[in-house]
C-alpha cells in the first residue's frame, strides 16, 4: 500500500521534468525515508541520484518499501497538466495513480514498467576543486558555448571557466571568484564535457537554488542542486578526445 499527497506541485513538476531530461525510464525506490532514484542515462555517460524526503509530502503512507518502474516521458506529459493550486494524490495498484484535486478532480493512471536493473553505484572521486554558481550564469554561459561547439571545457583555477573551440569560432567565459558564491581549490582542474548533457542536467536549476560543480582533471564532474526539497546529484563522464 502506497498513498501520498503532494502540495508543492510546482517543485514536483520541475523535479519530474529534471529527471525526464536525463532518463527515459527508471525505478523509484520508495521507503519510509521518501522517494529515491539512481540511474544512468541511455548513453551511459551521465548518472542521476535523486532524493525527495518523506517529510516533504503533505501525507505519506507506505506499509513496506516498494519499487515503481516509470516511463518518465509519460509521467512528465501528465505532470505538466497539474495546476499550481491542485494537490497531487499518488497511489499504486497495478498502475500508478495521479489524481489532481483542485477546482476539478482529474484522475490519471500510467502503466508501471519493468525497469528492474539494480541501481548503479555512486562513483567515488576525489574532486580537486569546487565552485558554487548562480544557475542563470552557468546556463547562459553554456548557451554562449553552444554557438560554436557541442562540447565544452570546464575548468577551475582562480575562477570558474568555460571555453570551447569550433570550426567557425571560439568562446571563452571567465567567472572570477567574486562572481561565484564559493570557490575551493586543492589544485587547478579541467575536463571536457558534452554540452547537450550539461544543458539537460541544468535544465531545471533555478533560483533560489545554487549549482555546485565539482571537478577533477579528466575525471567525471559532479553537479548538484535542489528543486524545493528534492536533491539532485549528477555525475557526467568527460569526453576523452583532446580539445
Q: Which residues bind its own copies (CB under 8 A)?
A: 71, 74, 77-78, 81, 95, 103-111, 137, 140-141, 143-144, 147-148, 168-175, 179
- The nearest distance, CB 142 to its own copies, in angstroms, is 11
If the CB atoms of residues 147 and 188 are measured against its own copies, the closer one turns out to be: 147
191 has which bridge partners? Answer: 154
If the CB atoms of residues 40 and 145 are measured against its own copies, the closer one turns out to be: 145
Q: Is 74 left (phi over 0), alpha (psi -120 to 50) or beta?
A: alpha
**Grid cell digits, residue 153:** 571545457
CB 7 within 8 A of CB 70: no
- The nearest distance, CB 168 to its own copies, in angstroms, is 5
Name residue, grid cell 501520498: 4
CB 187 within 8 A of CB 207: no
- The nearest distance, CB 107 to its own copies, in angstroms, is 4
Q: Which residues contact 173 (CB under 8 A, 6 or more apart)?
A: 141, 144, 145, 161, 162, 163
Phi, psi of 147 (to 5 degrees): -65, -30
- The nearest distance, CB 45 to its own copies, in angstroms, is 27
If the CB atoms of residues 148 and 210 are measured against its own copies, the closer one turns out to be: 148
- The nearest distance, CB 222 to its own copies, in angstroms, is 23
If the CB atoms of residues 145 and 232 are measured against its own copies, the closer one turns out to be: 145
Phi, psi of 107 (to 5 degrees): -110, 125
CB 112 within 8 A of CB 96: yes
- The nearest distance, CB 139 to its own copies, in angstroms, is 12
Closest alpha carbon to 61 in 86, 32, 27, 85: 32
Half-sphere exposure of residue 48: CA atoms within 13 angstroms, side-chain side: 31
- The nearest distance, CB 237 to its own copies, in angstroms, is 27
Closest alpha carbon to 192 in 139, 145, 142, 237: 237
If the CB atoms of residues 72 and 234 are measured against its own copies, the closer one turns out to be: 72
If the CB atoms of residues 65 and 169 are measured against its own copies, the closer one turns out to be: 169
Looking at residue 114, what DSSP letter applies?
A: -
If the CB atoms of residues 45 and 110 are measured against its own copies, the closer one turns out to be: 110
Amino acid at each position: 500500500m502506497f498513498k501520498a499527497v503532494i502540495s508543492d506541485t510546482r517543485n514536483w513538476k520541475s523535479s519530474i521534468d529534471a529527471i525526464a531530461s536525463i532518463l527515459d525510464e527508471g525505478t523509484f525506490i520508495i521507503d519510509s525515508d521518501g522517494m529515491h532514484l539512481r540511474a544512468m542515462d541511455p548513453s551511459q555517460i551521465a548518472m542521476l541520484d535523486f532524493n525527495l524526503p518523506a517529510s516533504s509530502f503533505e501525507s505519506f503512507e507506505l506499509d513496506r518499501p516498494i519499487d515503481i518502474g516509470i516511463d518518465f516521458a509519460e509521467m512528465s506529459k501528465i505532470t505538466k497538466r497539474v495546476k499550481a493550486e491542485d494537490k497531487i494524490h499518488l497511489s499504486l495498484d497495478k498502475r500508478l495513480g495521479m489524481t489532481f484535486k483542485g477546482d476539478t478532480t482529474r484522475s490519471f493512471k500510467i502503466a508501471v514498467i519493468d525497469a528492474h536493473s539494480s541501481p548503479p553505484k555512486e562513483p567515488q572521486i576525489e574532486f580537486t576543486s569546487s565552485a558554487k554558481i548562480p544557475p542563470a550564469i552557468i546556463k547562459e554561459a553554456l548557451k554562449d558555448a553552444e554557438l560554436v561547439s557541442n562540447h565544452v571545457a570546464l575548468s577551475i583555477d582562480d575562477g570558474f571557466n568555460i571555453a570551447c573551440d569550433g570550426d567557425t569560432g571560439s568562446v571563452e567565459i571567465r567567472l572570477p571568484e567574486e562572481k561565484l558564491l564559493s570557490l575551493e581549490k586543492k589544485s587547478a582542474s579541467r575536463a571536457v564535457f558534452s554540452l547537450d548533457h550539461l544543458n539537460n542536467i541544468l535544465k531545471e536549476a533555478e533560483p533560489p537554488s545554487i549549482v555546485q560543480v565539482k571537478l577533477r582533471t579528466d575525471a567525471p564532474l559532479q553537479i548538484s542542486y535542489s528543486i524545493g526539497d528534492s536533491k539532485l546529484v549528477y555525475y557526467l563522464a568527460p569526453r576523452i578526445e583532446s580539445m
